[in-house]
Amino acid sequence: MAKYLKTHVARIVLSCVALALVSCAATTLKNSWRAPPYKGPPLKKIMVVGVSKQAVTRRTFEDGFVKQLKADGVEGIQSYNFITQDGKADEGVVKQAVQKAGADGVLITRLVRVDTNVQVVQPMGFYGGYGGYAGAWGGYYDAPMATTTDTVVLDTTLWGLNDSTLLWSATTETFEPTNIQHEIEQFSKLIIGALKKQKLI
């Protein structure tokens, strides 16, 4: 019985750890780059572009990012008000839209890939101690438990209007996103914080 209880507790602990990993979605900045020559003033009015063929996804992202920009004292503009087509737009179309909006920069975010990780946990121990017909359960092992998690990798770039100058770029990873509104808020805060640190906004 002691061996059974020990095994049962171990299985519960493993299950709780797996559940905790799945429920703790987090966005991290993996790497970033800043244009060394740029000495201009911080940008004050930024057009936000979410590259997606899905209109709802694009609008949700741009609305959320603009909301967070305004909360941090920076004016943001959704690109969907000026660029009607979804998906990738030509550079000329984007530049014309930015100029029409009166922005002094444009921030573009696109999906790079989704990494899927499968973890297999082998249950620990041995079930025994039963007598009579219940002995059929004695000595068997549970099948391995598999959990699948996704990590979303995004690429974000900040451009200045003069000669389409790339001012900053970064790659982020979001582990197991579950709530798009929450993830956009956390992602926006992370990116805006990094841009402020670099004195770009």
- Give the residues of the chain that fall short of pLDDT 50: 1-23
Q: Which residues pair with 155 in a beta bridge?
A: 110, 171
The residues near 92 (Cβ < 8 Å, ≥ 6 apart) are none
For residue 105, the model assigns a pLDDT of 94
Give yes or no for a contact between 161 and 105, defined as CB atoms under 8 angstroms apart: yes
For residue 129, the model assigns a pLDDT of 53
- In the block, which residue shows the tokens 């100058």? 165
162: DSSP letter: G
For residue 22, the model assigns a pLDDT of 40
How many structural domains are present in the chain? 1
Q: Kindly report the CATH number assigned to the domain that includes residue 30.
A: 3.40.50.10610
What is the tens place of the pLDDT at every residue in 111-145?
Answer: 999 888 877 776 665 555 555 565 555 555 566 77
- CA distances, 20 to each of 11, 15, 16, 122, 126 (Å): 14, 9, 6, 18, 25
For residue 118, the model assigns a pLDDT of 77
List the domain range (segments joined by +) for residue 48: 2-18+26-197
Let me know the angle formed at the C-alpha of 193 by 190 and 196, rounded to the nearest 5 degrees: 150
**Pick from 100, 5, 70: which is nearest to 79 by CA?**
100
How large is the greatest C-alpha to C-alpha distance in the chain, in angstroms?
84
Cα 154 to Cα 186: distance, rounded to the nearest angstrom: 13
What are the backbone dihedrals phi and psi of residue 40, each rounded to the nearest 5 degrees, phi first? -70, 175
- CA distances, 75 to each of 28, 107, 148, 189 (Å): 24, 12, 39, 15
Give yes or no for a contact between 146 and 18, defined as CB atoms under 8 angstroms apart: no
For residue 168, the model assigns a pLDDT of 97
For residue 142, the model assigns a pLDDT of 63
Cα 7 to Cα 126: distance, rounded to the nearest angstrom: 7
Give yes or no for a contact between 82 and 45, defined as CB atoms under 8 angstroms apart: no
For residue 119, the model assigns a pLDDT of 75
Q: Which residues pair with 153 in a beta bridge?
A: 113, 173
What is the tens place of the pLDDT at every residue in 159-176?
Answer: 998 767 899 999 999 988
Give yes or no for a contact between 144 and 123, defined as CB atoms under 8 angstroms apart: yes
- Reported pTM: 0.74
Name the amino acid, one letter, at 151: T
Count how many residues are written for the chain: 201
